[in-house]
Amino acid sequence: MKYPCGLVQDLLPLYHDKACSEESVKIIDQHFQECPVCRKYCESLGESNNVLADLPNSALEMEKTASFRAVKKKMRKKQMLTALIAVALLIVIFISGMSVLKSSEQIIQCQEGLTVTISDGDLIARLQGNQANSMRIKRVETEIEGMTKVYLFFYLSGTKWDKVVTSENMFSEYVLCPADKGAAQIDSVFYYTGDYSGIESLSESDLQKVIKNSVLLWER
């Protein structure tokens, strides 16, 4: 043996990685032919290197997968929470919107869907495409040229919610004056959206102003 085993073994890691000079390769190959100990040592170097190279990688891989799963799980939890909050918010918005619509009582404008008819002697108001939840009505008697005239003023009010839930082909009816309460004596029915206070004690000229600002819906 030209070179001692210690020297050859010092070079083996470089030889194994093919990082040493041609001269060193020749020397080591020659040494291998004569020395099975160093040859074996070189072989084991490769194996242990592979094992060492593999182990941390697979461990790292597993760790990555585990943390990826954890992140995914966390994300799923977060998404669920976000979805739940969104649904809760929608419910809150819907309920508050509904209550705003329900509490917003407003006078129903005298639209084309409002008609007055006599049905079985009762004076009936018919409202198309909306529904009222309250009605104000005033009966006014006045003397015109020695004749007693009976006017009926009324208006309906409802909520925006009623308008939302009522379709255009739905209608509701309201009894303005039943037959047994003197419907036959009423001469005219007006839709009136003004203030009812003192309407009975108005002078004839004031009453005519009120009538002008009202919509005549029905006349005998």
Residues forming the site for Zn ion (CB under 5 A): 5, 35, 38
Q: Which residues, 6 or more positions from 26, have their beta carbon under 8 angstroms from its beta carbon?
A: none
Q: How many helices (H) and strands (E) does the chain have?
A: 5, 8
What letter represents residue 220's amino acid? R
* C-alpha to C-alpha distance for 128 and 124, rounded to whole angstroms: 13
Cβ 39 to Zn ion shortest distance, Å:
8
Residue 124 sits at φ, ψ, to 5 deg, of -120, 135
Cβ 54 to Zn ion shortest distance, Å:
28
User: Judged by CB, which is closer to Zn ion: 34, or 63?
Assistant: 34
User: Judged by CB, which is closer to Zn ion: 40, or 209?
Assistant: 40
Q: Residue 147 forms beta bridges with which residues?
A: 144
Cβ 12 to Zn ion shortest distance, Å:
10
User: Judged by CB, which is closer to Zn ion: 5, or 62?
Assistant: 5
Cβ 55 to Zn ion shortest distance, Å:
29
Q: What does DSSP assign to residue 98?
A: H
What CA–CA distances, in Å, run from 136 to 65, 193, 201?
A: 73, 9, 17
User: Judged by CB, which is closer to Zn ion: 38, or 189?
Assistant: 38
User: Judged by CB, which is closer to Zn ion: 19, or 37?
Assistant: 37
The dihedral formed by the CA atoms of 193, 196, 201 and 204, expressed in degrees to the nearest 10: 0
Cβ 2 to Zn ion shortest distance, Å:
11
* C-alpha to C-alpha distance for 98 and 215, rounded to whole angstroms: 32
Cβ 31 to Zn ion shortest distance, Å:
6
User: Judged by CB, which is closer to Zn ion: 32, or 196?
Assistant: 32
Rg (CA), the chain: 49
What letter represents residue 72's amino acid? K
Q: Do residues 216 and 190 make contact, with C-beta atoms less than 8 angstroms apart? A: yes
